[in-house]
């Protein structure tokens, strides 16, 4: 039997499918390799991850502006960026079973599937090609972007001119990217269609090292503030042989996934590579004019580039826990309240009409502010278990006494502690608790109801 409380990829995949976080794409047709669909809870979790990122890097700062560039871009973009030339993996094919492998992933010289002989490696470009317009000919080839970053570089002057920002400043973007990866796997860790959250932060040359270190720390803190355990995060510097063609320095923020340490986010000092290249290929000046020194120059770029899907996977793995609660084994997702797909569940003790009416009123009221569920099926214990398993921070129990005293019980997912609060104070209390206030900081008229077994 699996160790109690220990996370594994099987447990995450099983929970994701069982509770509607993530499904294989086009599952009724047998699935499409390494493409995934986010279900009703997954889409909320994913949106919360993106919102938390956007809030921290755009909304709460005045030096970063947002952008949403199109997925299809002028093909010259990819000549300038180096993707047409260099965005390729060495591919080998088994002469016997014809499966293809990334040669740099293989430990020995034969096919891992059947032991057959492999071909010599040849470079395989990872960009998905399609055609613009009705004619499928070479002149009409366009690519699905393999990263969101290039949409930012080509809009550098547009954003500069329209926002009048001064250096240092950044542009942030969240969006889909596509890579025809040869080796996929580990659930949503590496897929062919995924989402990125990227910042391109433009700085004066000479200040780049300082800003690189700043972003390394900022981004590490972001994961920790959203509840990732310190021991599961590490920074890893790329060796010279590993550096991408555009990078002067690069660190990965790695997470300790169940399959081992792997990249969650890359932070690179790209120097002036991108602006030099796009100036050369477009013929347009992308220089910045410094009003103080009266100098024209190309800014350097610091790039924190994160994966949405990998973050979702890391948050799920980190939050996963099993314990014995109220005398029973329970699976609990200890998600940060900002990320939890459902913030509270309204649970009437019985389906009797009077109680249901009051519970429904509370439910309707809370839904004005948050994603809330209503559940009146089966025993209260079963209903708590269901909410724990999807990470709902608070359960609100409406009982017969509620009809008399106009109070309800709030149960906290992690401690199992319970307080009793007037219905008139419920919204404000929930707002405070979701922002991190201790459960036992009581509103007027509130009382401690029960200390849980975990506290
Ligand atoms: N603009 C720089 C860039 O794209 P990258 O290291 O290739 O750098 C950045 O990608 C992030 O995007 C990675 O850290 C990862 O989180 C995510 N990512 C990249 N390829 C992915 C894939 N095939 N599936 C899921 N996420 C991926």
Tens digit of each residue's pLDDT (9 = 90 or more) over 238-286: 999 889 888 999 999 999 999 999 999 999 999 999 999 999 999 999 9
User: The tokens of 283 are what?
Assistant: 């013929």
Contact 417, 439 (CB under 8 A): yes
Rounded CA-CA distance 309/35 in Å is 11
Q: What pLDDT is attached to residue 35? A: 93
Of 263, 269, 277, best ligand 1 pocket probe by most atoms within 8 Å of the beta carbon: 263
pLDDT of residue 164: 87
Mean pLDDT value of segment 149-163: 97
Contact 165, 64 (CB under 8 A): no
State in Å: Cα 360 to ligand 1 middle.
44
Output the CA 126–ligand 1 centroid distance in Å.
Answer: 13
| DSSP code string of 123-163 | EEE-PPEEESSS--SGGGEEEB-S-SHHHHHTTHHHHHHHH
> Closest Cα to residue 45, out of 392, 429, 394?
392
For the CA of 308, the closest atom of ligand 1 is 16
Identify the weakest region by mean pLDDT among 96-105, 256-265, 329-338, 426-435: 96-105
Cis-peptide into 168, omega within 30 deg: yes
What is the mean predicted confidence (pLDDT) over 225-250?
94
Average pLDDT over residues 58-84: 96
Split at pLDDT 50, 70, 90, the class of 81 is very high
pLDDT of 2 over the 60 cut: no
The enclosing H or E element of 379 equals none
CA distance 292 to 298: 16
Distance 307 CA to ligand 1 centre (A): 6
Q: Which two tokens stand for residue 158?
A: 């547009």
Residues β-bridged to residue 372: 344
Instruction: Tally Cβ neighbours within 10 Å of residue 251.
Output: 23
The distance of Cα 428 from the centroid of its chain, to the nearest Å, equals: 29
Q: Considering only CA atoms, which residue is closest to atom 6 of ligand 1? A: 266
pTM of the model: 0.94
Distance 191 CA to ligand 1 centre (A): 10
- pLDDT value of position 455: 56
The predicted model gives 357-385 an average pLDDT of 97
Residue 63 backbone phi and psi in degrees, to 5:
-110, 10
- Strands in 312-429 per DSSP E: 320-325, 328-333, 344-348, 372-374, 394-398, 407-412, 418-422
Q: Which residue, by CA, sits nearest to atom 9 of ligand 1?
A: 305
Which residues surround ligand 1 with Cβ inside 6 Å? 147, 149, 179, 181, 190-191, 194, 196, 198, 263-266, 303, 305-307, 309-310
Distance 323 CA to ligand 1 centre (A): 34
Q: How many Cβ atoms from other residues are within 10 Å of residue 208's Cβ?
A: 22
Number of other CB atoms surrounding residue 325 within 10 Å: 19
When mean pLDDT is compared across 28-42, 112-126, 267-281, 347-361, the lowest value belongs to 112-126
Intra-chain end-to-end CA distance of the chain, in Å: 27
pLDDT of residue 1: 44
Q: What's the pLDDT at 201? A: 98
CA of 95 relative to ligand 1 center, distance in Å = 31
Query: What integer pLDDT is reported at residue 454 of this predicted model?
Result: 61
- Model confidence pLDDT, tens digit, residues 7-23: 999 999 999 999 999 99
Protein residue whose Cα sits closest to atom 10 of ligand 1: 305
390 CA to centre of ligand 1 in angstroms: 27
Query: What value does the mean pLDDT of the chain take?
Result: 94
Handedness of CA 300, 167, 66, 237 (dihedral sign): positive
pLDDT digits (tens, 9 = 90+) for 331-369: 999 999 999 999 999 999 999 999 999 999 999 999 999
Closest-CA residue, ligand 1 atom 14, reads 265
Q: How far is the CA of 146 from the centre of ligand 1 (A)?
A: 9
**Lowest-pLDDT range, 125-129, 148-152, 204-208, 358-362?**
125-129
Q: Where are the beta strands (DSSP E) in 279-387?
A: 288-290, 295-297, 300-307, 320-325, 328-333, 344-348, 372-374
Tokens of 244: 């991408």
Nearest residue (by CA) to ligand 1, atom 22, is 190
Task: Using the atom order of ligand 1, give the atom closest to the CA of residue 184.
Answer: 23
Dihedral over Cα of 121, 126, 127, 129: its sign: positive
Looking from the CA of residue 198, the nearest atom of ligand 1 is 1
């Amino acid at each position: 039997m699996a160790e109690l409380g220990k996370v594994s990829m099987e447990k995450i995949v099983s929970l994701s499918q069982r509770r509607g976080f993530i499904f294989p794409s086009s599952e009724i047709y047998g699935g499409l390799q390494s493409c995934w669909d986010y279900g009703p809870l997954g889409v909320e979790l994913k949106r919360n991850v993106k919102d938390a990122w956007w809030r921290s890097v755009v909304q709460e700062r005045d030096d970063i502006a947002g952008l949403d560039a199109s997925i299809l871009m002028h093909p010259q973009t990819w000549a300038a960026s180096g993707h047409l030339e260099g965005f390729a993996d060495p591919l080998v094919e088994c002469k016997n079973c014809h499966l293809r492998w990334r040669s740099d992933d293989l430990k020995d010289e034969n096919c891992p599937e059947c032991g057959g002989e492999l071909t010599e490696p040849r470079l395989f470009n990872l960009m998905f090609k399609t055609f613009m317009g009705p004619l499928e000919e070479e002149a009409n080839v366009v690519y699905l972007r393999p990263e969101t970053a290039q949409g930012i570089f080509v809009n550098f002057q547009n954003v500069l001119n329209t926002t009048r920002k001064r250096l240092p400043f950044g542009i942030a973007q969240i969006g889909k990217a596509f890579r025809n990866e040869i080796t996929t796997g580990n659930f949503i860790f590496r897929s062919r269609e995924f989402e990125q959250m990227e910042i391109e932060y433009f700085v004066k040359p000479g200040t780049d090292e300082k800003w690189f270190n700043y972003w390394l720390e900022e981004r590490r803190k972001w994961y920790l503030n959203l509840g990732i355990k310190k021991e599961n995060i590490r920074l890893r510097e790329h060796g010279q042989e590993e550096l991408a063609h555009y990078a002067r320095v690069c660190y990965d923020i790695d997470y300790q996934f169940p399959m081992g340490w792997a990249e969650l986010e890359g932070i690179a000092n790209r120097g002036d590579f991108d602006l030099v290249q796009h100036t050369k290929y477009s013929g347009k000046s992308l220089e910045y004019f410094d009003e103080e020194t009266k100098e024209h120059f190309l800014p350097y770029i610091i790039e924190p580039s994160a994966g949405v899907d990998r973050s979702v996977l890391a948050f799920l793995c980190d939050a996963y826990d099993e314990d014995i609660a109220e005398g029973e084994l329970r699976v609990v997702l200890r998600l940060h309240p900002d990320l939890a797909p459902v913030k509270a569940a309204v649970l009437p003790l019985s389906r009797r009409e009077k109680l249901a009416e009051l519970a429904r009123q509370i439910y309707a009221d809370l839904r004005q502010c948050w994603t809330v569920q209503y559940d009146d099926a089966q025993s209260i214990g079963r209903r708590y278990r269901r909410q724990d398993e999807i990470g709902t921070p608070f359960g609100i129990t409406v009982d017969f006494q509620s009809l008399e005293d106009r109070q309800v019980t709030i149960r906290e997912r992690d401690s199992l502690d319970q307080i009793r609060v007037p219905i008139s104070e419920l919204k404000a209390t929930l707002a405070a608790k979701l922002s991190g206030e201790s459960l036992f900081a009581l509103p007027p008229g509130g009382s401690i109801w029960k200390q849980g077994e975990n506290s």
